[in-house]
Structure 1
């Protein structure tokens, strides 16, 4: 049985177990509601394009003999996800001819972007990199990355707007489940479709068939309806271009930055997961350096770790309801720091398989909880008047912190060694915890903003 098939079985088992828990345990019951199920479908369509662009595409390029320097350009395809707040205001407020009237702002944009994304993925698959002409291939990869980031803007805003307050955390968790499902389909599924060791349909057909992963979000959007999009100028007449630009571009940022503690919140979002991100960057190199066999790493990370990640994500929503958002952020942050201590112990113990499993399970379990809690927190900070723009701003800040502030990880590991490096990642998480304490102490941590803004213009 292949690793990916086992992962699918684990994932299915967790979902079945979650369904059984939801029938018996009140804290899990909201998972069975309509809207959390819809966010699962939205998550599938959100999760598959980035996997196609990074993991699957680099595997494809390596298989056909493209040099590693060329393959390295795939890292840059993550850039649209870190700067998507720049065009999020247009997605938030710009109506589309016919589509907005027929389906509403969110669904109109979703269907429009998905149609373009479907075409771009087909074209990417058909742009054979073996021909020696990488220009079309790179072009369609960039277009796909831009459209995928734009789809995320729409789906994140739509998810926030369709969820009721008492199902918010559960809907965020099911969205994460859907995202992981999309990852599996675009990773293992596409490789199986394309590879000669699978169905052997070729990469063009493999990518083309995977493009149909847009369908779950379409089904979910039809099922959910238009959502609670707030158009503050829906009944305005004679609005000037300046007024429209002010409402679209300026006001979302003004509304957020005008809140008490806004800059502290942005700082917290930027650095909260830096220690965790630094550890993730250097985990693979440490495993190699400690002399673990490839199969040991695959079984520990792709099987044990994957199961722990799904369980952790499922526990995130009850975790918030049990502790409250402030305590949930604090405890999940401390748990992630503890998971890095486990890797210190692994570095000390050396090539010890069960210590590896224990460290990876701890890390994935705590990361699953932390991801659900943190994403729920970011979602709750987004006003319904400017959902797409504000969530794009917050998630871009978080992505920037994970990507760039964690970038010195290799230098730190080289200077301090593995034990010192993991100790450093624990210390690197402390500023985020201090900012969290400061926000909590000043009463800025949790602000009820899931209501339309009433700020005057």
Structure 2
């Protein structure tokens, strides 16, 4: 009996090696650099900025208000259509032109923010922090679009893993790295160093390829008003209409929204759990930075390999199940009490499985985007995927108080299971594995 492709165990190790080797592809490595640039500015307007302001005696109410700066990341889909349709100031292609323009402005804004004196220029710092966050969110739009459009089908999963890994490395640099530099050389040196490190992503856009997009049908307008209406239609209406032409598109959106909800509920209440069990802030910080960072990067890379080998649909289901199992370690922590070993195990399990599921989800979102509307559709879908974290943040505390820690985290381990049933129903049917030939176009 003739064996089907990919079923022969003799070839399996080779195929796994091919899956791992996908991370060495030049464009996938370029995504790692862009992910680094994407994650770098985030903490410069959040915890790092809060540390700077707190060190000079700024009031707590002001420090808390700093968190509002991050609102730009949640609403980036609002101006994503402009980046999708409006020609960039630099005529280097739609993605490269916008990418280089935004990163040059971002470098300047970070330098301006770092040059401020919080004792005398606090209002100016607030404005510059908003500008940095807006440009950073705009950079994310371009980077995600470039990634989806530049990578081939079999490179999407490793690209999703690399974007997560680079993002976390960038956050580590702008978080702990900035604090170390500020302690020895001052805050301007810290922010100037971060601005210089953004040059990593700038080099990718300068020397990387411009994605090839399908040609659009020409449109002949009979008036300026018709031209404006047509442009608005193509930029704002058409991306949503294009997505809604998909079969069961509402179910797809529901699956995306629910997929990370259990992990979001657990993540929101993880630190309160640790504190209630008697862990000190240094213990929590050490476990999160050491075990959390490495487990996230490892989980993202493993998730990419699993998605390549199994295909998007099966990877979503497998990684989603593992994500739910990862939440059960919080139950172990709640029952076991103040044990450092349990803390390390809990942080590792949560971040490892969550990152694996994150890679599978990003790969799915990438596959859902139409080439003509990549920036708009990916910005919208990724915002929807992260919305559950915002929605459940306010309810996790009340719920855990009513039912207790162990039952609460048991609930988080099952709340995401309906999403897996929806994925099983509407997930991509054309699963791609690296040992299968790509269908001819």
TM-score under structure 1 length normalisation = 0.86
Displacement after TM superposition at 1:231 (Å): 5.3
* Residue 187, structure 1, aligned to residue 184, structure 2: no
* Residue 388, structure 1, aligned to residue 375, structure 2: yes
The aligned residue for residue 130 of structure 1 is 119
The one-character-per-residue Cα deviations of 1:105-138 (angstroms, maximum 9, x if unpaired) are 111111111122112112222232223x532111
1:147-158 correspondence runs (5 A): 147-158=135-146
In structure 1, runs of 5+ residues without a counterpart are 1-20, 448-457
Alignment root-mean-square deviation, CA:
2.2
3-state SS of 1:225 partner: coil
Between 345-354 and 24-33, report the one with greater CA deviation. 24-33
Displacement after TM superposition at 1:319 (Å): 0.5
Displacement after TM superposition at 1:85 (Å): 1.0
Q: Is the 8 A contact 2:168 2:293 kept in 1?
A: no
Tell me the number of residue pairs that the alignment of Structure 1 and Structure 2 aligns.
416
The aligned residue for residue 98 of structure 2 is 109
* Residue 225, structure 1, aligned to residue 225, structure 2: no
Q: Is the 8 A contact 1:22 1:29 kept in 2?
A: no
1:136, 1:296 → 2: CA distance?
Answer: 36
The aligned residue for residue 338 of structure 2 is 351
Displacement after TM superposition at 1:47 (Å): 0.8
1:428 pairs, out of 415, 418, 425, with: 415
1:42-441 correspondence runs (5 A): 42-97=34-89, 99-100=90-91, 103-131=92-120, 133-195=121-183, 199-200=184-185, 202-230=186-214, 232=216, 236=219, 238=221, 240-440=227-427
Q: Is the 8 A contact 2:154 2:308 kept in 1?
A: no
Displacement after TM superposition at 1:193 (Å): 1.7
1:438, 1:130 → 2: CA distance?
Answer: 57
Q: Structure 1 pair 275/396, CA: closer, same or farther in 2 (3 Å)?
A: same
Displacement after TM superposition at 1:324 (Å): 1.7
Q: Structure 1 pair 174/23, CA: closer, same or farther in 2 (3 Å)?
A: farther
2:303, 2:142 → 1: CA distance?
Answer: 24
Q: Structure 1 pair 127/431, CA: closer, same or farther in 2 (3 Å)?
A: farther
Q: Structure 1 pair 50/434, CA: closer, same or farther in 2 (3 Å)?
A: same
Q: Structure 1 pair 403/61, CA: closer, same or farther in 2 (3 Å)?
A: same
2:392, 2:213 → 1: CA distance?
Answer: 34
Displacement after TM superposition at 1:446 (Å): 7.1
Between 270-279 and 420-429, report the one with greater CA deviation. 420-429
